[in-house]
Amino acid sequence: VGAASWRIGLIGCGHIGGSLALALRAAGRAARVIGWDVDPGAAARALELGLVDEVASGGVAGAAASADVVVLAVPVAAIGPVAAAAAGALAPDAVIMDVGSVKTEPVAAGEAAAAAAGRAGRFVGAHPMAGSERSGPDAAEVALFRGRVAIVTPTAATAPDALETVRALWRAAGAHVVEMAPDAHDRAVAAVSHLPHVIAFSLAALVNAEPGLAGLAGPSYASATRVAASPPGAWAALLTANRAALLPWLDRFGERLSALRAALAAGDEKAVRALLEARDGV
Amino acid sequence: VGAASWRIGLIGCGHIGGSLALALRAAGRAARVIGWDVDPGAAARALELGLVDEVASGGVAGAAASADVVVLAVPVAAIGPVAAAAAGALAPDAVIMDVGSVKTEPVAAGEAAAAAAGRAGRFVGAHPMAGSERSGPDAAEVALFRGRVAIVTPTAATAPDALETVRALWRAAGAHVVEMAPDAHDRAVAAVSHLPHVIAFSLAALVNAEPGLAGLAGPSYASATRVAASPPGAWAALLTANRAALLPWLDRFGERLSALRAALAAGDEKAVRALLEARDGV
């Protein structure tokens, strides 16, 4: 028997949602992709680019009604409300999955919305550790998730078959699936994604405050600030939503910088070296 | 008339020195490259890879004796002593150039060494804003400097023809030449190169202190920590040598992080967004 092929309701046709649609289509696992976007121009562009087969005429509910899997590729603050709109139209054995970079509150909101619509257990949180500083349908990449980790965050409420569908979907897109609790996800992602973004934006702000300086930069600055080209609005929302997990990491990062500062101020090259060597773990 | 072709004495056959030799050879501007390295294995490997035409038998002086340009691609602490060894064997109209990432003290030491050997004005400081986290002869890349900035740091003591030779050499390697005073260089490079390295090492140390965390990371972490794979010994020396210029930038970076921390702690998404948007300059 062949692998399952899903009808996808894609809510949000941007960089992540569009890339997932492309990956599933390329793998022959998307029977049909019905897209919708709060920005009609983005949905039209996704259709033009072949990311979706059609644009839903009935909004979120229209895209969700005939779907096996509804993918919410929307800002984290929208996950609860959009899950509610999708759940109201959802087939009993279909699944709603989000792809947001914060999980604790959005998953709780998504689960509550599904339960309120009589679809308890059909919402599953997910977050692919992939992406770039680009955004919008034109940034969709078929191989974006290939070889990347996709974190899936089931809870006690999650229906086992819904979880298995979400796992299979990410494997079909080329990702390695890792399961974590929503709060463990938020703490880990604060360190390996949110903190690097804070750093990149802050370094770019510092350097660009002085005209001419960035023009002298080489590849180390380019790498360090690459993701500072990401949309500030979306990132302000993410960072604020995950601030409880992020703040302790920011403090610990500040302590690392302070230790290096002290060693440098003392001219203690040996101590500086030991702090640099800690990059391999302690 | 054709462009000048130089006999190069290459002291230090690693990533930067080897790449410069390759670039000049590829451009048809290296009549001969005579290499030497404190590590005989590195010199032998450079010969094997075709970075140099021969390995000097007489050490630094042997490589310098017949050179038009002696390139010192050595750690910054070695620039003064190695310049002294080269200057003693240098032809009167030849040039000694370093490629170090710190300029004030090394240039002063190089100039003093040249003057002491009767070659006043023949030492010229330079620093290409290029490189990678790799090191050694095997990391040499012919296009490493193409389209990059090469900072040249003449002083009142620099002979005009020596400066012109150094400028022409970097242009031949594909770089855009920018002239700066040594102390202005050190301040700028502290911001756009040394600080990004401090950040990368510190973030990698933080994440790698917790087993399993780095395995969850996506491309933002990979970019942010790429240069943390650089050699800690060499970087400890550079950062310590340039600490006077680096410390104020570290403090200013810490202030940016603190401002973002305060906005996050207050849950003030609008303030967070304004701080992220500052990446475009103020």
Asked if A277's CB is within 8 angstroms of B217's CB, the reply is no
Round the average pLDDT of chain B to a whole number and report it: 97
Instruction: Compare CB distances from B204 to A130, A260, A279 and report the shortest one's residue.
Output: A279
Residue A168 has a CB neighbour count (10 Å cut-off) of 16
B225 chain-A contacts, CB cut-off 8 A = 196, 279
B1 touching A (Cβ < 8 Å): no
Tell me: pLDDT of A2 over 90: no
Please give, rounded to a whole number of angstroms, the shortest distance from the CA of B161 to a CA of chain A.
Answer: 25
Chain B, 22 to 81: residues with Cβ < 8 Å from chain A are none
Residues 147-176 of B with CB under 8 A from A: 148-149, 151
* Per-residue pLDDT, B1: 46
What are the tens digits of pLDDT across the range B183-239?
Answer: 999 999 999 999 999 999 999 999 999 999 999 999 999 999 999 999 999 999 999
Q: Stretch A227-248: mean pLDDT, rounded?
A: 97
Position A166 scores a pLDDT of: 98
pLDDT digits (tens, 9 = 90+) for A129-153: 999 899 999 999 999 999 999 999 9
Mean pLDDT (whole number) for A224-239: 96
Integer Rg of chain A from CA: 21
Q: How far apart are the C-alpha atoms of A232 and B275, rounded to whole Å?
A: 9
Query: A273: which 2 tokens?
Result: 């070296």
Of residues A128, A216, A240, nearest to B192 (C-beta): A216
* Widest distance between CA atoms in chain A: 68
Q: Which of A131, A132, A149 sits opposite B216 (nearest CB)?
A: A149
pTM reported for the whole predicted model:
0.93
pLDDT at B4: 86
Predicted pLDDT at B3: 77
- pLDDT for A1: 47
ipTM of the shown complex: 0.93
pLDDT at position B282:
64
Q: Which one-letter amino acid corresponds to residue A78?
A: A
State pLDDT tens for residues B58-106: 999 999 999 999 999 999 999 999 999 999 999 999 999 999 999 999 9
How far is the alpha carbon of A185 from chain B, nearest alpha carbon, in Å? 10
Average pLDDT over every residue of B123-142: 96
User: B248-280 pLDDT, tens per residue?
Assistant: 999 999 999 999 999 999 999 999 999 999 999
Instruction: Judge contact between A246 and B264, C-beta under 8 A.
Output: yes
Better-scored residue on pLDDT, A281 or A274: A274
Contacts with A266 (C-beta within 8 Å, 6 or more apart), sequence order: none
Q: What is the pLDDT of residues A64-120, one digit of tens each?
A: 999 999 999 999 999 999 999 999 999 999 999 999 999 999 999 999 999 999 999
The minimum CA-CA distance between A224 and chain B, rounded to whole Å, is 5
Tell me the nearest-neighbour CA distance from A184 into chain B, angstroms.
11
Report residue A282's pLDDT band, with 50, 70 and 90 as the boundaries: low
Mean pLDDT of A3-31: 96
* Burial tier of A9 (Cβ tally within 10 Å: 0-12, 13-18, 19+): buried
The reported pLDDT for the residue numbered A85 is 98
Q: Select from B202, B269, B282 the residue whose CB has the most chain A CBs within 10 Å, as the one to mutate to test that interface.
A: B202
